[in-house]
Structure 1
Amino acid sequence: MREQTKSGESKSVAKPAPDASRRSEKSRRAIYAAALELVGEAGYAKTTIEGIAARAGVGKQTIYRWWSSKADVLMEAFLDLAEQTSEQAGGVPVDHALPDTGDLAADLKLVLRATVDELLDPRFEVPSRALAAEGVADEALGREFFTKLLEPSLMLYVQRLRAAQDAGDLRPGVDPRIALELFVSPLAQRWLQHTGPLTHAYTDTLVDYALYGIASRPSSGSAP
């Protein structure tokens, strides 16, 4: 590029070099979006690296430079999506801790309400259902997705429940890893199998039942 000097002479002006990091981030985002769209439309088995590359407008070499397989692409794309939708819904990103206000029930209800909002977000729901279905059919893939996508989030519940134990809000003998299933598993089942509506009232009830039980309590005057 050339520009005029005050004397009327022209001189060459160096053109700024393109920002490679910005270009790479734009491509990465396009690949995330393409992968999630395709798995939601066609299912995991029919989603290919070639298809992802074509929809994202990049070469296959670009994808293979960053990931070794479509499973790796999808897991990273899904983690990114979960982070975005969780933050927008007021939830907790996977690398953070659950809130600890000192009120265990309130903290769990807050996070589970945000989880419902996330599960009902079409951007999250469509690809996650496709991946969940494939994980049932492909045991190895199911384990990989559980380990990399679900287990880190579940461990946040474990940490919060252990903190509650330390504060005396849970019995010392309770296993937090089993206890979290009292409210997480019914929510997942209802979402996967469409057995009922997903609402904040439903998750609040799960927390109440899990923390306070469902058996009637003896009156204060009853014999032990």
Structure 2
Amino acid sequence: MLELNGVSKSFGGVHAVRDVSFVLEQGEVRGLIGPNGAGKSTLVNLISGLLAPTAGSMTLDGLPLKGKSAHQRARLGIARTFQNLRVFPSLSVEQNIDVARYAAGGAPLVDAAIAEFGLRDKLTARANALSYGDQRRLEIVRGLALGPKVLMLDEPAAGMNEEETAALGASLRWVQREAGCALFVIDHDLKFIMTLCDRITVLDMGAVIAEGSPQEITQNPKVISAYLGEDIGAEA
């Protein structure tokens, strides 16, 4: 599916991402966690084509992504949401979704996703009239409208309460079952990540310091030291 080999990104003398390699399999739900400034959003920007790597390579189903623009990668099957909301505020919910639907030539499951994420009764509303949580859900449905092979979610649970976060997790599991695409999820809500994800990759100072199941991650001494903290590690 999606394979990264030795991907690095430097901004002048700052190494934002260092020699990152992993394989994201079809249907996998992979979490990406780490301290602020660890390089998580930079890595997503590299995969989606908003940034070009300083070194390393990426392939999707064996196809090299080098030289492919962000919109070309979206057409190939790499969709994403953003840490800072990027809905089209003056367009309706339906128009936001249709932008992606038409770009993809019509994707399956869009209508079902609209219902699953609670947007069916809000299709005519302007996007900027939605609650923050609904705007987050709109971004996810818009990404699904591209019919992606990989859907990357940057802080999808940000600003949501516990009930909304639980509902979001259930909806993302629905995406895994029904759409069959891989999910690559960044979030600081550790309960959300540990419950949702099959595997977790941990970044610190741009480098991968651990990879494994949620249980393995919570018991990893490097992760406890760099990110989770001794209290959480002791509870695991």
In which range does the TM-score fall when normalised by the shorter chain?
A: under 0.3
Higher strand share: 2
| TM-score where L is the length of structure 1 | 0.25
TM-score normalized by the length of structure 2: 0.24
| Higher RCO, Cα 8 Å, sep 6+ | 2
